[in-house]
Structure 1
Amino acid sequence: MVLTGTLINALCIILGTVIGLFFTKIPERYKETILNGIGLAVVLIGLQMALRTENIIVVLLSILTGAVLGESIHLEKKLNDVGSWIQKKIAKNNANSTIAQGFITATLIFVIGAMSIVGALDSGLRGDHEVLITKAILDGFMALVLTTTLGFGVILSVIPVLLYQGTIALLATQIEQWIPETFLNSFIAEMTSTGGLLIVAIGLNILKITNIRIANLLPSIITVGIVLYLYSLIT
């Protein structure tokens, strides 16, 4: 089945979150140190992805256009409003709830990246779910660790993961008829690099070094395809 890899990925995130909930009562100093460790690891993952670019100009223009679009529609505020609404519904008596933060952070980590796209494409094009199953195991462990510090909100990231990867997998069954293989390979490389920069930003925010409105940069994941196409026309 085309969606097998995506469903396994979602299941692992759910299992990781459920297990992580049993470790939320550990002392704050442990949580702080664990979160710092996660931040450092996330920065490293992001840098590895960002360095895969074949054209830094495309990445730069994608980030800039994505930032303008994200700020113009107040994407970060809208996502926070969704998280806050969920937080009010689920955690009415917990003033310190981090559901919104957990939802947004986990979503960005699980959705942005080469494995999401490549894995979903492999599922759709070749019925090969190996990449997504590998990602599922990694995401499961990450969900466990994130849940110990950010709480229940991590499990809500399953929804965008299912929608994002599932859509790519379903479209992939027809994608070869629309997009040349050379352009597709270039898109994956530049999208991975652009996503890597956003992952670095997540890590820096986790470490409290910066306070970047990451969600307002998310449209760059979409604009990278447009920028790459236009750039290829003039070069």
Structure 2
Amino acid sequence: MLTGIFVDAGVVLLGGIGGAACSNSIPARLKDGLPIVFGLASMAMGCALIVQVKAIAVMVISLLVGVIIGELCCLEDRIGGWSTRANLLLERYVPVPAGLTQEVFLERFVAITVLFCASGTGIFGSIHEGMTGDASVLLAKAALDLPTAAIFATGLGYAVAIICVPQFAILFTLALLAKQIAPLTTPLMNANFAAVGGVLMFATGFRICGITRFPVANMLPALLLAMPVTAFWLHAVGP
């Protein structure tokens, strides 16, 4: 059913509309304080997944090689560039909120588009649901995305609600692809994959809190490597 994907995209739509409509009613201290809680929640979910790891060496190798690939391919810069080009279309259809220049508006809009569409939590959660049918990660993400979208919409307006369209398309496609490879996986592969996803969620939490700006998008290849590296490790080293 891919419930988590529908719910996550739906709450971004509702949060974007609700936040824009109530922008004058939300206290500034709430806008400033909630993101820190979002970051802490992401770190907590990451820890819950990391403890599932069955082979620490597999997790470490996947992350190291994955980051090297991501950095060499400049994934984070490319994703930001794609988002910028796509969001230039907004200039024609979406008015810039009062108090923001077009440049500042686009910069912030690109940032939250990447946050909702290409975050480690969302990509891991959609693949995880497609492979296992477990929507818990995306449902937990949705609980965070609703107030997040609302908070961003207080400053950027109804444009935030539009993000649900590319978000749904990306996560839904990833989940469908994951369904195809699910029969080829093992519980050990799934556990190590979840652990790598947990590290990305932990890094995302640090970034949201403003502690350290981890290049989370450049870490995404680690998710693709977790299962092949697990298979190689079992063949070379054994369980």
- Tell me the TM-score normalized by structure 1: 0.79
| Equivalent in 120, 128, 137 of residue 130 of structure 2 | 120
Residues 112 and 195 in structure 1, CA contact (< 8 A), matched pair in contact too: yes
Residue type at the aligned position of 1:14? L
1:21-61 deviations in whole A, cap 9, x for unaligned?
Answer: 43445344321101111111111111111121111100000
Which residue type is aligned with residue 104 of structure 1? V
- Is the Cα–Cα contact under 8 Å of residues 52 and 195 in structure 2 kept in the other structure? yes
Structure 1 position 89 matched with structure 2 position 89: yes
Size of the aligned set, in residue pairs, is 216
For residues 64-103 of structure 1, the aligned pairs below 5 Å read 64-90=64-90, 93=96, 94-97=102-105, 98-103=108-113
Q: Distance in 2 between matches of 1:10 and 1:88?
A: 22
Alignment of 1:22-41 (within 5 A): 22-25=21-24, 26-41=26-41
Moved more, 23-32 or 95-104: 23-32
Counterpart position of 1:165:
175
- Structure 1: stretches of 5+ with no match in the other structure: 124-130
The unaligned stretches of length 5 or more in structure 2 are: 97-101, 154-159
Alpha-carbon separation, structure 2, partners of 1:223 and 1:211: 23
Q: How far apart, in 1, do the equivalents of 2:226 and 2:138 lie?
A: 25
In the TM superposition, 1:183-222 aligns within 5 A as: 183-222=185-224
Higher mean alpha-carbon deviation, 10-19 vs 59-68, is at: 10-19
Contact 1:45 1:200 in 2 (8 A): yes
Q: Deviation at 1:6? A: 4.7
User: Does residue 227 of structure 2 align to residue 225 of structure 1?
Assistant: yes
Question: Which residue does 1:126 correspond to in 2?
Answer: none
Q: Is the 1:43–1:202 Cα contact (8 Å) retained in structure 2?
A: yes
Map Cα deviations across residues 131-173 of structure 1 (whole Å, 9 max, x no partner).
43x666544432211112334175242221111112223x15x
Task: Tell me: CA distance 1:139–1:201, structure 2 relative to 1, closer, same or farther (3 Å).
Answer: closer
Root-mean-square deviation (CA), in Å? 2.6
Q: CA deviation at 1:20?
A: 4.0
